[in-house]
């Protein structure tokens, strides 16, 4: 299984765990059982527009390829959950009109059409490209994959640091060109101090 597929599966499981904690959505599984997916940090009720009561029916719309076993888990959380899978742009846009949750990618037009939308689970860490004024100023809850992708980002940063310290990019190029020259400026990082910026 690829790392990207694994993270997508974990994300789908996390969404299911989040849905299980929402008021008005009764879990079909035994309450005493440990959740199979990561626990959520915060819970937000999905409520009907203009009212405080939780919804009896929640429509989740996604264009992502959610594995069948995660689909079953999400649907099994409550008989009030409708999981709508839609790949086509026009069909997705039509389905968005009465969706309460969008999981994955969407367009600005989809958000404008989704009059019942309460929650967007974005499947990336960065949200800069979707912070449209109408979304920011709305009551729609937007969550991302920042914590889920943190280990991958950290591993990539350390891997790149080692690659640069040992000259892997230059040596890879030399291997392709069938030549061998010492790369100047290589360093041994053992005993060095690492400074972290931006935590």
Stronger pLDDT, 19 or 160, i.e. the higher one: 160
Give residue limits of the domains in the chain: 3-146
Overall fold of domain 3-146: Rossmann fold (3.40.50)
Per this entry, what is the length of the chain?
Answer: 199
SS3 of residue 24 by DSSP: coil
Q: With contact defined as beta carbons under 8 Å apart, do 119 and 101 qualify?
A: yes
d(CA 81, CA 19): 9
SS3 of residue 121 by DSSP: strand
Q: Which helix (H) or strand (E) holds 169?
A: helix 168-176
Side-chain-facing half-sphere of 152: CA atoms under 13 Å = 14
Which tokens go with 50? 């203009």
pLDDT digits (tens, 9 = 90+) for 137-183: 999 999 998 888 888 888 999 999 999 999 999 999 999 999 999 99
């Amino acid at each position: 299984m690829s790392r990207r597929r694994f993270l997508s599966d974990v994300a789908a499981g996390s969404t299911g765990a989040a849905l299980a904690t929402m008021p008005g959505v009764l879990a079909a599984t035994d309450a005493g059982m440990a959740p199979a997916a990561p626990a959520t940090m915060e819970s937000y009720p999905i409520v009907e527009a203009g009212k405080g009561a939780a919804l009896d029916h929640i429509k989740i719309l996604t264009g992502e390829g959610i594995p069948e076993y995660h689909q079953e888990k999400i649907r099994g959380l409550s008989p009030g959950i409708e999981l709508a899978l839609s790949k086509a742009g026009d069909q997705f846009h039509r389905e968005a009109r009465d969706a309460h949750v969008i999981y994955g990618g969407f367009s600005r037009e989809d958000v404008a059409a989704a009059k019942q939308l309460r929650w967007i689970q974005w499947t990336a860490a960065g949200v800069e490209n979707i912070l449209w004024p109408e979304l920011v100023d709305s009551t729609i809850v937007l969550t991302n994959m920042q914590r889920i992708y943190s280990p991958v980002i950290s591993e990539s940063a350390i891997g790149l640091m080692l690659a640069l310290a040992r000259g892997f990019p230059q040596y890879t190029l030399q291997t392709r060109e069938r030549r061998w020259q010492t790369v100047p400026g290589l360093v041994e990082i053992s005993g060095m101090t690492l400074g972290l910026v931006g935590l």
